[in-house]
């Protein structure tokens, strides 16, 4: 059996791939591909519990043993799998920093029936696209960039990342470029399946629509302001799965946010981009990544500075079109008020 260990990196479509593999796991097994014991989000991030101390974990995954159960799952699988896939971008980052990646590779290779192991790494280029995406993801969920300490700007040294996983896997590491020109059909699911398990490529026709679409700066500012308002008023916030954002609690907020996004799209608002000076600073601090982009993955060894380049509120939102926001709110707020009145009238008549 061949083991495919997919370790990200972050912001390369890992969630979409994991959801696809999880939702089609029964069909995949019928064709000899095992996607075993995923966590509730579809990934294998809970494998970290077997290798890290509690204070090293980004999250806790209670009662989700993996390594102690996987041999039995392989033994009981029917039909017997020819390929097993383990996937989590969290493994790539956190095992690298704890220097436990080699142990995971050795443990997976030692499982019964395993005759080969391959580590798969997707790298997003250009680096500015990665940095922009990771900042946007942080702003969609909270009014803090603390998220970046774990997943973002300090971890852009692709050379060091590849060197570590190549060493951990005894050079059995395949690098794929996450860029529309390099992905099959411009899509992570098509690319992974078509490259590593091509005999089930026909399943890609059933994949879900793309997630995590880019948002304009004005929309991210709306989220930031709404959460600040909620905090000032003592309101709780809640996750909105329909838009993959965190909004204040209350029936009005999700439709109001949807209307605001539609208004920004109608006027052609462009996607959020990091300020040019931040991107230029990243290019200076991570010169090795350009060589990785051109295929020179060996021994890049550049010194990486992780300080500096602080991102501030005005650094992120100083370029928004305030007039555009005002006009959109003039259009959205009356609609939200009408919906609220309709709900109130309906509730009172009931």
pLDDT of residue 213: 63
> CA-CA distances (angstroms) from residue 29 to 24, 74, 77, 350?
9, 11, 8, 51
pLDDT of residue 181: 85
pLDDT of residue 155: 55
Q: Which two tokens stand for residue 165?
A: 């996983």
The one-digit pLDDT tens for each residue of the chain (350 residues) are 999 999 988 888 998 999 999 999 999 999 999 999 998 889 999 999 999 988 888 777 776 789 999 999 999 999 999 999 999 998 988 888 778 999 999 999 999 999 999 999 998 877 777 778 878 888 888 877 665 555 445 456 788 888 899 999 999 999 998 888 889 998 999 999 999 999 999 999 877 656 556 788 889 889 989 999 999 999 999 988 788 899 999 888 999 998 998 888 888 888 888 777 777 776 676 665 665 555 543 333 333 333 444 566 666 776 777 788 888 888 888 887 787 677 766 655 54
CATH ID of 2-206, from 3.40.50, 1.10.357, 3.30.420, 3.20.20: 3.40.50
Q: Which two tokens stand for residue 250?
A: 């209350």
Per domain, the residue ranges of the chain are 2-206, 217-271+320-349
Say if residues 204 and 193 touch (Cβ distance below 8 Å).
yes
pLDDT of residue 206: 77
Strands (DSSP E) contained in 245-297 are 245-248
- Rounded to whole angstroms, the Cα distance separating 304 from 145 reads 20
Say if residues 39 and 45 touch (Cβ distance below 8 Å).
yes
């Amino acid at each position: 059996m061949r083991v495919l260990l997919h370790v990200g990196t972050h912001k390369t479509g890992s969630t979409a791939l994991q959801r696809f593999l999880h939702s089609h796991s029964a069909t995949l097994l019928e064709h000899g591909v095992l996607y075993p014991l995923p966590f509730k989000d579809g990934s294998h991030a809970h494998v970290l519990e077997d290798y890290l101390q509690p204070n090293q974990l980004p999250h806790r995954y209670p009662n989700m043993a993996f390594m102690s159960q996987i041999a039995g799952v392989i033994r009981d699988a029917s039909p017997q799998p020819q390929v097993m896939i383990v996937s989590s971008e969290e493994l790539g980052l956190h095992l690298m920093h704890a220097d436990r990646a080699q142990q995971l590779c050795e443990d997976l290779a030692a499982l019964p029936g395993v005759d080969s192991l391959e580590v798969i790494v997707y790298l997003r280029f250009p680096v500015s696209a990665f940095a922009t995406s990771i900042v946007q993801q942080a702003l969609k969920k909270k009014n803090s960039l603390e998220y970046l300490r774990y997943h973002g700007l300090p971890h852009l040294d692709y050379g060091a990342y590849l060197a570590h996983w190549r060493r951990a896997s005894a050079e059995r590491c395949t690098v794929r470029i996450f860029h529309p020109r390099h992905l099959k059909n411009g899509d992570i699911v098509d690319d992974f399946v078509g490259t590593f398990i091509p005999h089930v490529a026909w399943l890609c026709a059933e994949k879900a629509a793309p997630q995590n679409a880019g948002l304009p700066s004005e929309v991210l500012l709306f989220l930031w302001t709404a959460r600040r308002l909620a905090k000032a008023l003592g309101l709780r916030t809640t996750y909105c799965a329909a838009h993959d954002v965190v909004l204040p609690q209350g029936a009005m907020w999700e439709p109001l946010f949807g209307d605001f996004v539609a208004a920004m799209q109608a006027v052609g608002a462009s996607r959020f981009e990091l300020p040019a000076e931040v991107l230029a600073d990243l290019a200076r601090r991570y010169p090795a990544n350009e060589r990785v982009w051109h295929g020179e993955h060996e021994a890049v060894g550049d010194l990486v500075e992780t300080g500096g380049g602080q991102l501030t509120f005005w650094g992120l939102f100083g370029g928004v079109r305030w007039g555009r926001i005002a006009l959109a709110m003039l259009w959205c707020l009356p609609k939200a008020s009408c919906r609220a009145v309709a709900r109130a009238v309906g509730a009172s008549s009931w």
